[in-house]
Amino acid sequence: MKTAQAFRPAVLDMFEPQDHPMDFAYPGGPPKRPYDITGWTLATQMGVKFDRVMDAFDVTATKLPFATEKPLPASVASVANAAGYLLSHKINDSFIVINRLLKAGADVYWLADEKSVGGKALGTGTVYVPASAAALPILEKAAKELGVPAYAVAAKPTGDAMKLKPIRIGLVDLYGGSMPSGWLRFMLEQYEFPFEVVFPQVLDAGNLKSSFDVIVFPSGTYAEGRGGRGGGRGGSGPSPDSIPEEFRSMLGTVTSAKSVPSLKTFVEEGGTVLALGASASIGEAMGLPVKNHLVEKGPDGKDVPLPGEKFYIPGSVLTVSYNNKDPLAFGMPDKGYVFFDTSPVFNRPEGSIVQASKVAWFEGKQNLYAGWAVGQEYLDGGELATQASVGKGKLVLIGFEATFRATPHGTFKLFFNGLYLGSAAPTKL
């Protein structure tokens, strides 16, 4: 992409970090709050690797039509008497293929050991699809239309794996509309996940496992959550008498007192609660031993949240470490970027009875890539994503804005993995 053009500033803005000035009301005072976010850098949010080349050069290239939207077609690499096919877990659109395969009744596995084809690593959690009459047409269509390649293998892989199952997703929304929930609805439709929108009264009524396998809490839908830009409707809401009768079932809020008990039962019976952004603090309410990492000792010796004068990140891109051997982070790199918007950061006290995985965390005192971060040194060691087994089910917490306005494609996989994680059956091939 050449920058010798009228839109050079926009090109640089997409690829290179933003540097927000350290802007305080007065020396030693609170930060002056900006109108909106301070860092965005789309290339890093979308997982695009690039180099900035300072020397001029020319290449032989073909100009594509302006309206081209679909990726270039891929292929299904074949072998004689194929036992099955491998897909890369690194590719977001692989989840469209997975959803189509499961809908058609085909078997789908995530392999514990990463596979490579022709020297090309397919990501941890490499997807394995056994050969079948149902699978091949779906793989061929996906290669042509989505650009997702499939690689045939002559022998069935061996070792630890997870067999995926079709899932029923409940997407939490609030009366008046939660913006994060609306963006997630858009994403689930794009990636062909089956889902149903649910409101607090359904959660409070209980018996959730009969209808859902996963319940998703978008950022800001948990009424007692902390941090995040959110976008939900706060407060107790309007009076039922002021709302047309057909909409009254949408009223209510998600609270610890009314909602959490039925959610605990749902998880213990084998369901998955997946909470994003500010809603990730529901983990504490559900008994997971995670604590707020961004605290200091108050005059009485008790932990109190860091004040804005010491810690303030209003929407920036930060660097994180991933444990991509954990199924929640399958397909992710060892190091990556996240969009952080005053998001929950937690830690887990040692000796906890409930064992939670360390999936994404901050390492070091300098993690800002683009934007503005006051007190970023406090992030060191804090965790951003974890998953834990509770009873027969799973609790998945993704504290940062992994799906913010359907933009950070580089972190979508944590959300998609979390949807399937609780229902997947560990097995050996």
Q: Where are the domains of the chain?
A: 76-160, 169-428
Distances (CA, A) of 21 to 41, 55, 136, 316, 362: 16, 30, 54, 13, 23
- Give me the residue label for tokens 């490579």: 116
376 three-class SS: helix
- Alpha-carbon distance of 357 to 405, in angstroms, equals 27
User: Residue 67: its pLDDT value, please?
Assistant: 67
User: Residue 379: its pLDDT value, please?
Assistant: 96
pTM: 0.93
- DSSP label of 133: T
* Torsion from C-alpha of 348, 351, 354, 356, nearest 10 degrees: 40
- Alpha-carbon distance of 401 to 229, in angstroms, equals 9
Does domain 76-160 sit in CATH 3.40.30? Answer: no
User: Residue 47: its pLDDT value, please?
Assistant: 92
CB burial class (10 A; 0-12, 13-18, 19+) of residue 231? buried
Mean pLDDT per block of 10 residues along the chain (429 residues) reads: 91 94 87 92 94 89 75 86 95 98 97 91 96 95 95 94 97 94 97 96 93 96 66 64 86 90 95 95 87 91 90 95 96 96 85 72 96 95 92 94 95 97 94
Contact 399, 293 (CB under 8 A): no
- Element holding 413 (H helix, E strand): helix 412-421
Q: Among 215, 211, 193, 212, which residue's Cα sits nearest to residue 103?
A: 193
User: Cβ–Cβ contacts within 10 Å for residue 358, how many?
Assistant: 15
- Alpha-carbon distance of 384 to 344, in angstroms, equals 7
User: Residue 64: its pLDDT value, please?
Assistant: 75
247 three-class SS: helix
Alpha-helical (H) ranges within 208-305 are: 260-268, 282-285
User: Residue 118: its pLDDT value, please?
Assistant: 86
CATH number for domain 169-428, candidates 3.40.50.10310, 3.20.190.10, 3.90.550.10, 3.40.50.880: 3.40.50.880
Q: Among 267, 282, 181, which residue's Cα sits nearest to residue 227?
A: 282
Contact 342, 230 (CB under 8 A): no
User: Residue 203: its pLDDT value, please?
Assistant: 94
Most distant CA pair in the chain: distance in Å? 73
User: Residue 147: its pLDDT value, please?
Assistant: 94
Alpha-helical (H) ranges within 197-327 are: 200-205, 260-268, 282-285
